[in-house]
Amino acid sequence: MSQHDLFSPLNLSIDPTVANLLPYDGIVQDCGVIFRQDDADAYFDALYDGIDWQHDVLKLYGKTITTARQVAWYGDDGVQYRYSGSTRTALPWPEPLLQLKAAIEARLAAIHPISFNACLLNLYHDGSQGMGWHSDDEPKLGQMPIIASLSLGATRKFVLRHKSSKQKIELSLAHGQLIVMRGSTQRYWQHALMKTTKVQQPRINLTFRQIL
């Protein structure tokens, strides 16, 4: 794919009938793989090489922990996000992220119109790196946040777990696949990215958000 093609508008079909994967207490919709293989490859390469990746530093139970995975926070001017004891100020949108944001907003227009103002990116270098159980329930996301999660790279297992019943919903998220978490999902469910020794390839996850 040429540089011009990479940054050109994407034509995505819009299906307003995407089913809810959760049995209760929230809405998670699997929009499927929304990019052609060569498009997904080009975006992965552009982000892998062009994003200002940094190891995440978290404060948990009084300890400072540096993660193996790497993260980046981009968004509109001045947008800040606080989690795990740290406040992050968004870097300016690079062109690939703006294109992805516009494409995903167009894809979601028939489901729930939204304009995202920030994106948190995580780079997992292989299956030894994952994400533990958590909810994206920070106050600045609002009471019923809409989070669009795009996967690029290696297929990984993503699991949702109800906070009370402990019921689990498992998904294998593939290269170019988009899921949307909205409604009361973050209030009642946690989610995690499972570690595995079977995956040797990297994965990039982008979660587009609206910070209030």
Q: Is 48 annotated as a binding residue?
A: no
> Model pTM?
0.92
Averaged over successive runs of 10 residues, the pLDDT of the chain (212 residues) comes to 46 67 98 95 98 87 87 95 81 98 93 94 98 95 97 99 99 98 98 98 99 95
Q: Is 191 annotated as a binding residue?
A: yes
Sorted by where each begins, the domain ranges of the chain are: 27-209
Q: Is 137 annotated as a binding residue?
A: yes
Question: Of 164, 211, 160, nearest to 185 (Cα)?
Answer: 160
pLDDT at 111: 84
Q: Is 61 annotated as a binding residue?
A: no
Q: Is 52 annotated as a binding residue?
A: no
Q: Are residues 55 and 66 in contact, defined by beta-carbon separation less than 8 angstroms?
A: yes
Helix residue ranges, H only, the chain: 3-6, 37-50, 95-108, 185-188
Do the strands 118-124 and 131-134 form a parallel or antiparallel pair, or are they unpaired?
A: unpaired
Q: Is 83 annotated as a binding residue?
A: yes
Other CB atoms closer than 10 Å to residue 69's CB: what's the count? 18
pLDDT at 17: 72
For residues 12 and 157, give the distance between their C-alpha atoms in angstroms, rounded to a whole number. Answer: 25
Q: Where are the beta strands (DSSP E) in 4-130?
A: 27-33, 54-60, 63-75, 80-83, 86-89, 91-92, 118-124
Q: Is 207 annotated as a binding residue?
A: yes
Q: Is 76 annotated as a binding residue?
A: no
Give tens-digit pLDDT for 143-201.
Answer: 999 999 999 999 999 999 999 999 999 999 999 999 999 999 999 999 999 999 999 99
For 115-139, b/e burial (b = at least 16 CB within 10 A) is ebbbbbbbbbebbebbbeeebbbbe
For residues 5 and 11, give the distance between their C-alpha atoms in angstroms, rounded to a whole number. Answer: 12
Which CATH superfamily is 27-209 part of? Alpha-ketoglutarate-dependent dioxygenase AlkB-like (2.60.120.590)
pLDDT at 132: 94
